[in-house]
Amino acid sequence: MRILKTTFLVFLIVVSLGVHARSQRAESHAGTHRFELGEELLFEAEFSRSLLRSIDVADLKFRATRTPETPSVLSFSADVSSKGFFARLFNLKFRERVESTVEPASFTVQKTTILDEQGKRVRATESTFDRSKGQMTWTSRDPNNPSAEPRHAVTEFSGQLQDVLSAIYFIRTQPLAVGKSFDIFIGDGGKVYTIPVRVVEKRKVRTILGRIDVLRVNPELFGPDRLIEKEKGEFSIWITDDARHIPVASRVKTDYGTFEIKLKRIVTQPVETSQKPAKGTN
């Protein structure tokens, strides 16, 4: 059942995809974006196959902030965890936590940490990105076996590189339109992946934000030299067609079934009132 857990991580990765254009200038990302003031996006994932319909299987939470204590750094975090009958039925209990720090002026990732728990199996990975040297350093350890030799990789890259989390916020700073296609560059697991992306349609859908216009974006994640090399599948993500570019829904189709991920709640917590109760949007 490895593909089931992997599929949720695909969402974490793809919802995090950002547009990368080698000709872009760093100053185009300068300024304060709405999510920098404090924001949580709460998603719920459902699984369907044959007679199994819309079974709750996982919760996903994304958080962004820039605090007065660290104004020179953007902090992002994501949490994906299994839940409910589906996890018990297939003994599929997992949790993935990702944390990223980003230099806001150029919107360049500086560091990524990932804690991956699958039952008793635990992996802790750390990636650092040195843009001046064009070098990504990746290390993976087993916290349950501290004496084991960690895995290590150093990879060269050029231009601006995002990780699996920072890019969700990077894409929200970019213009999108039907018919636009581009490549994205993701540093993950000690490798750099090039992922073609197409903006395929615009339509009006019902969301927690009301009935609004959204854009459907199709990244090519499955196949040779992609993030998911040995599986077949199709991924779509719906993003609001406004200045916020909020990801409101996603669909992953695989041979194992279909996963629907929907935005259930937005929690805003401005920096200047970070000690006060957050306001929720349902």
φ, ψ (nearest 5 deg) of residue 73: -135, 135
Q: Which two tokens stand for residue 129?
A: 């990105």
Rounded Cα gap, residues 163 and 193, in angstroms = 10
What is the pLDDT, as a whole number, of residue 68?
Answer: 67
Average pLDDT, the chain: 79
* Strand blocks (E) in 131-242: 135-141, 151-156, 181-188, 191-207, 210-219, 233-240
Judge contact between 170 and 158, C-beta under 8 A. no
Nearby residues of 61 by Cβ (< 8 Å), 6 or more positions away: 40, 41, 42, 43, 78, 79
Judge contact between 194 and 181, C-beta under 8 A. no
Predicted TM-score of the model (pTM): 0.78
What is the pLDDT, as a whole number, of residue 282?
Answer: 46
Q: Which of 119, 168, 116, 160 is nearest to 142 (CA)?
A: 116
Rounded Cα gap, residues 173 and 66, in angstroms = 16
Rounded Cα gap, residues 98 and 78, in angstroms = 5
pLDDT lower than 50: segments of the chain:
1-6, 8, 13-31, 271-282
Helix (H/G/I), strand (E/B), else coil: 252: strand
Judge contact between 162 and 16, C-beta under 8 A. yes
Q: Which two tokens stand for residue 36?
A: 């920098």
Q: Which two tokens stand for residue 269?
A: 């917590």
Buried b (16+ CB within 10 A) or exposed e, 193-217: bebebebeeeeeeebebeeeebbbb
